[in-house]
Chain A
Amino acid sequence: MTNNILGSLILLACVGCTLGQAADQIVVPGDVDGDKIVSAEELQKAEDGCNAGKITSEELAMIRMIHDSYPRTFTDSSGKEIDIYKPISRIAVLTTEDYEILRTLNATDRVVAASKYVVLSREMGSGDLYADGSGYINIGSPTSTVDWEALIEANPDIVITYMTSPKPEDLAQNLKETNITVIRWDSGNISQYLDIVKTMGYLLDRNESADEYCRFFEDKLGRYLNAASDLSVEQKPRVYLEADFGGGQTYYTCGSGHAHNALIMAAGGENIFADLQGFKQVDPESVAILNPQVILRYKYLKDSPGIEKSLDDTAALKGLRDEMLSRPELNRTEAVQDGMVYVFTWDCTKGGGRFYLGMGYLGKWLQPQMFNEYDPRQVYQEYLEKFQGADVDVINQGVFVYPEA
């Protein structure tokens, strides 16, 4: 009698899971007592249920796998410890960087919903970079408006998003009636990138793909970055980074704790405003006083990321560089005197595969000898073909930086 009841409960748990019902409790196949963990006793009951014909052998295999491998515990980039109690089969992804990681891990068959930047790749200016994503449910933008109804209707197990967008309170409020697990990744932070790839490989049972990709990264770019990390402060040029988000506001820069400071450091530069915290506007006088040897400026451009531009269509970036060179307060800095002023698109600062471009060019500007043999376009092309399956030519087209090395 007791066995029958248990068997029925297991069956109910399986059915509940199969239907993907939205509830305030995650339903784990085989979990009878509601602790989201399949104990040895519950596994035994499931086996009994299978023998009695109440559940199928496939369902039993799933329950056994959950018993053996779950819960899986990890910490996301926001420092939150997260438990995953069952295999992830439905994913909503709000960031392009993490969508690329899912492609790298061959896990896009589990994606059910994505941001508008993936779903509407061409309309959002990314050409065919995410052409494979047009069939997903469009859940909007993580930084402006998430389509909460579409997200909930997609009924994902997890939603992957940025560190601070959407706001935690918005996510908590809008998803409180669901069992969607929120994972925040800082994939634009070079120091976390490979760990994120490995963690996602672990969560999605794609460890081999993750390892293969990490080897590729180390071979193509990582070894240069490792060499740069061994440089002493004296060997690194002083760098001023101007983060240009338009609106005529200049002299915004990034200090410690900001991913773009990490980019400079990783590429072998010394940020003159590393002492500042986060994203700040600084006094123009202080830039002149600190006399940078290299000036970097990135800007979001309307036709960014410029992936479909012809190679000689550099007017927009050249204009930004010329404006920088024309600022009287900077024209006695070593950077301006030596012509070491470089402009790149904001997209190059994004993580994922953009590291091959952004980090690569930074390395070539900041440590030209060390990165002498590195070819950003070539490596990025290789990445796109080998891990992304994207039919995009970034060797014969695309404008990302000015001037190129």
Chain B
Amino acid sequence: MIPRVFYKDINSDLRVEYQKFVGRKVLFLISLIAGTILLAGYAATRGSADLSITDVYVTIAARFFPGRFQTTWFSDTIVWGLRLHRIFLAVVGGMALAIAGAVMQGILKNPLASPFTLGIASAAGFGAALAIVMGAGFVGGEYLIIANAFIFTILASMAVYGLAKYKGISPETMILAGIAIMYLFSAMTSFLQYVGKAEQVQEVVFWMMGSLGRSSWDKVWIVTIIVAICFPYLLLRSWDINALGAGDETAKSLGVNVERTRVFCMMLVSLITASVICFTGTIGFIGLVAPHITRMVIGGDHRFLLPASALVGGLLLLAADTVARTILSPVILPVGIMTSFLGVPFFVYLFLRRKNALW
């Protein structure tokens, strides 16, 4: 007979170990939050306009404490009208793309999955191209392109779901259906570019080029609200996503409704991604790499992976955009270049250091 005290010791040791384990992850999360706040604070002070750090923070404070701080029209316009919404869009957009990537990799059990695996970027590009070349869309006026990009993204997800449902929802069928949809929309976009005028083709290319230059407070709010609605649900499902990683049979034996989880997660991911790329164009690197970077640091438990990936994504996109708009000031470099320049070396560093703990 094993003495009772022995179990007690083991439980106690495990609990301590687990608390340490969780503590490290929480510490990582806190560090990311702090890093994001610090970087956002720094980014707000960087730009072509000759504003001192004090000017910037007084301008920010004046909005919250009217009458207590004196500010100028110029600094108000620069800080609130140009810099801050761009910073917020970088953070929330990066978070959204990274969440989408982490969830996709989880539900498809595929390290190469990203928000764009299911043809989402291709569908958005086609929607925009349709609006630009043919002037056709679901909504008229100034929202024609944005609405088209958004709606076609959702349509692509539904098409993937329909195809996968027909053959049985599994990672393989979803990926194959996604690839088919991606090629279909890419071909249709190419056709539109072929029949379009040179200038229309140029506009399509410009739209697809990822950029935060189109940001505004309205867009920040829209993305934030969608992420705020979808993310808690995904977080609630993080146990289920963990279970899916052990295989569909295992997940089912643990009581997970595998198909429903996969479909719901896919739809939410599509919604999140659509909300970002219809405003920013294609920013592809974040969704693929941010979850990998996070996984290498804190492991694959989606309860922590999802929020941490979100923060890594936000931090990465904010850092990339800050560098892109300041390194060759007044020229603004395409943000996609900087996300790769900043993200790839870090990714390679972790890849080499943690080569046994990738996936």
Partner of A329, one of B78, B132, B325, B330: B78
| Contact present for B198 and A249 (CB under 8 Å) | no
| Contact present for A144 and B193 (CB under 8 Å) | yes
| Contact present for A248 and B48 (CB under 8 Å) | no
Report A-chain residues with C-beta under 8 Å of the C-beta of B204: 247
Mark contacts of A179-210 with chain B using CB atoms, 8 A cut-off: 1 yes-contact digit, 0 otherwise. 00000000000000000000000000000000
| Contact present for A245 and B202 (CB under 8 Å) | yes
Distance between Cα atoms of A289 and B207 in the complex (Å):
27
Partner of A289, one of B48, B145, B205, B331: B48
Mark contacts of B41-55 with chain A using CB atoms, 8 A cut-off: 1 yes-contact digit, 0 otherwise. 000000111100000
B86's closest neighbor in chain A, by CB? A284
Mark contacts of A112-133 with chain B using CB atoms, 8 A cut-off: 1 yes-contact digit, 0 otherwise. 0000000000001100000000
A281: Cβ under 8 A from any B Cβ: yes
Of the A-B pairs whose beta carbons lie under 8 Å apart in the complex, a sample of 18, sorted by A's number, is A247-B203, A247-B207, A248-B207, A249-B214, A281-B211, A281-B332, A282-B330, A283-B48, A283-B325, A285-B49, A285-B78, A285-B330, A286-B48, A289-B49, A328-B77, A328-B81, A329-B81, A332-B77
B35: Cβ under 8 A from any A Cβ: no
| Contact present for B197 and A125 (CB under 8 Å) | yes
Partner of A246, one of B74, B82, B198, B203: B203
Partner of B194, one of A145, A247, A285: A145
Mark contacts of A226-251 with chain B using CB atoms, 8 A cut-off: 1 yes-contact digit, 0 otherwise. 00000000000000000001111111
| Contact present for B48 and A304 (CB under 8 Å) | no
- State the main secondary structure of chain B at its contact with A: helix
Nearest 3 interchain pairs by C-beta: A247-B206, A286-B330, A247-B207
Give the interface size class of chain B.
35 or more
Give A280 Cβ to nearest chain B Cβ, in Å.
Answer: 5
B213: Cβ under 8 A from any A Cβ: yes
Report B-chain residues with C-beta under 8 Å of the C-beta of A329: 77-78, 81-82
A346's closest neighbor in chain B, by CB? B199
Give B337 Cβ to nearest chain A Cβ, in Å.
Answer: 12
B281: Cβ under 8 A from any A Cβ: yes
Distance between Cα atoms of A392 and B26 in the complex (Å):
72
A216: Cβ under 8 A from any B Cβ: no
Partner of A143, one of B78, B135, B201, B214: B201
Known: A144-B201, A247-B204, A300-B202. A283 touches B214 (CB 8 A): no
| Contact present for A283 and B47 (CB under 8 Å) | yes
Partner of B332, one of A144, A251, A328, A346: A251
| Contact present for A249 and B199 (CB under 8 Å) | no
Known: A144-B201, A302-B135. A284 touches B209 (CB 8 A): no
13 other A-B residue contacts (CB within 8 Å) besides A285-B47, A286-B330 = A125-B197, A143-B198, A246-B203, A247-B209, A249-B213, A283-B325, A283-B329, A285-B48, A285-B49, A285-B78, A300-B202, A302-B135, A304-B199
A12: Cβ under 8 A from any B Cβ: no
Report B-chain residues with C-beta under 8 Å of the C-beta of A141: 197-198
Distance between Cα atoms of A276 and B48 in the complex (Å):
15
A-B contact count (CB 8 A): 103
Give B75 Cβ to nearest chain A Cβ, in Å.
Answer: 11
Distance between Cα atoms of A286 and B204 in the complex (Å):
27
| Contact present for A276 and B331 (CB under 8 Å) | yes
B325's closest neighbor in chain A, by CB? A283
Mark contacts of B210-250 with chain A using CB atoms, 8 A cut-off: 1 yes-contact digit, 0 otherwise. 01011000000000000000000000000000000000000
A329's closest neighbor in chain B, by CB? B77
Report A-chain residues with C-beta under 8 Å of the C-beta of B209: 247, 249
Distance between Cα atoms of A402 and B206 in the complex (Å):
24
Mark contacts of A294-310 with chain B using CB atoms, 8 A cut-off: 1 yes-contact digit, 0 otherwise. 00000010101000000
Mark contacts of B17-31 with chain A using CB atoms, 8 A cut-off: 1 yes-contact digit, 0 otherwise. 000000000000000
B73: Cβ under 8 A from any A Cβ: yes
B128's closest neighbor in chain A, by CB? A247
Mark contacts of B276-296 with chain A using CB atoms, 8 A cut-off: 1 yes-contact digit, 0 otherwise. 000001000000000000000
A255's closest neighbor in chain B, by CB? B331
| Contact present for A288 and B330 (CB under 8 Å) | no
Report A-chain residues with C-beta under 8 Å of the C-beta of B201: 143-144
| Contact present for A283 and B330 (CB under 8 Å) | yes
Give A338 Cβ to nearest chain B Cβ, in Å.
Answer: 18
